[in-house]
A and B are shown apart, each in its own frame.
Chain A
């Protein structure tokens, strides 16, 4: 690690104003392109970024493989991307919050370490690749919150036909997963 970077990190963690100002300026600049997508809660996002940066620095995660500035830029970027994805994700309806135990669809991914999670991700992307492009497009619309009536109108397909197509796509996805990941349980 460059001495200059080590000094800046140390002074930032101590709360020294000039160091905090430098880092804050970098954070604001690195986060700028994401602002439009997160404008409705931008103050919260900035706070989350600051917390994540502080957490990583205190845990010694920055080891100097890159400059501190580059490291910071990358942390800001993946934090903002995660925020954008969390915002855009439609949260599905629960049948009964207190009744059925809701297990994650991929418990192996949730429990795995970092390297294993990457392998699981690779596997899941391959599963996704197995299904037809039309299926991926239909489910993108579902993830975006469109009703089957809206989808039917957009695609100029009868509602009944659309629902059956989506059902077939569901079956193809489950079958692809079973083929590539036979040891996984539903």
Chain B
């Protein structure tokens, strides 16, 4: 391997992706060539330059509406506009801030497969996953009232959901709304595409039943819990909304149910079946 061939491969030698034979050739060359070892130093320097991001403290300050210290605001904005990793991280911080400011939002526990060790996600791949609205709901789903759903949308600068006629199946491109069925438990199966970011079930208990405590559950077609039954916190405006991140669910049939749970009761009040298609 000559110097040009070795120098060209240095970035991939650094990130460990060279094939074993190629890696050995590069290392043998570096061992015998001082100029190429200098080139390695410059490659490391370039590596560090290209790895620069907005400091985490500055991102957090920005998310909390403060001017980040020590960084020119215009430079900050320009970098944010073109760096998906920093943009995605900013959305994570904003999501966290929202949870701090809205105590009525319940959070559902993460489900972790026993013994499974997931590979740490690579920076830019994770950034593309977390960018945009998915950065707001980076988990399997959470519960919010309708106003908070709209607040999240505004923060993420997403488009507004289509106005939904009561009882009609909805595909808005962002939300899929399940309006409460006048029949209560519904057997109709609605088809939803995973490209729709959310499914949202709105439920106004005061108009429908005598229960004051409610729980929510998501099961798959086999009746297995996808999300365990979780208590719904009373919303401020009297309307519950269960918001599901569809990207986290595999394709298949599901049942979304609301239960009345006063005094140990467990009565299914509202139930919607949907089929999630790729």
Taking Cβ atoms with an 8 Å cutoff, the residues of A that contact B are 26, 29-37, 39-40, 42, 69-70, 73-74, 76-78, 80-82, 84-85, 87-90, 92-93, 95, 100, 105-106, 115, 117-119, 121-122, 124-129, 131, 133, 135-136, 139-148, 150, 163-164, 166-167, 169-170, 173-174, 176-177, 186
Contact = CB atoms under 8 A, between A and B. Distances in A.
Given A29-B107, A174-B42, A128 B50 contact: yes
B118 A163 contact: no
Contacts of B17: 145-148, 150
B37 A100 contact: yes
Contacts of B138: 33-37
Given A115-B70, A169-B46, A177-B45, A121 B55 contact: yes
B211 interface: no
B79 interface: yes
B223 interface: no
16 contacts: A33-B95, A37-B130, A40-B120, A73-B97, A73-B100, A78-B56, A85-B123, A95-B37, A100-B37, A118-B69, A118-B71, A136-B50, A142-B12, A142-B15, A147-B12, A173-B49
A139 B126 contact: no
A143 B71 contact: no
Given A36-B110, A37-B121, A81-B89, A148 B100 contact: no
Nearest to A32: B107
Given A92-B15, A135-B50, A126 B57 contact: no
Contacts of A29: 99-100, 107
A140 B70 contact: no
Contacts, number: 219
A182 B139 CA distance: 46
Interface residues of B, number: 73
Chain A interface, DSSP helix/strand/loop, else mixed: helix
Contact of A163 (B9, B16, B44, B89): B9
B46 A173 contact: yes
Interface stretch (B58-66, B188-196, B257-265): B58-66
Given A88-B123, A139-B50, A70 B9 contact: no
B40 interface: yes
Contact of B70 (A73, A89, A122): A122
B122 interface: yes
Contacts of B243: none
Q: Max chain B CB contacts within 10 Å: which of A78, A124, A127? A: A78
Nearest to B139: A36
A21 to B, nearest CB: 15
A70 B15 contact: no
Given A89-B51, A173-B46, A125 B37 contact: no
Given A128-B52, A164-B8, 9 more contacts: A29-B107, A36-B139, A40-B117, A40-B120, A42-B110, A74-B60, A74-B61, A77-B96, A139-B47
B53 interface: yes
B149 interface: no
* CB-CB nearest 7 A-B residue pairs: A118-B70, A139-B50, A147-B17, A88-B123, A105-B48, A163-B8, A81-B56
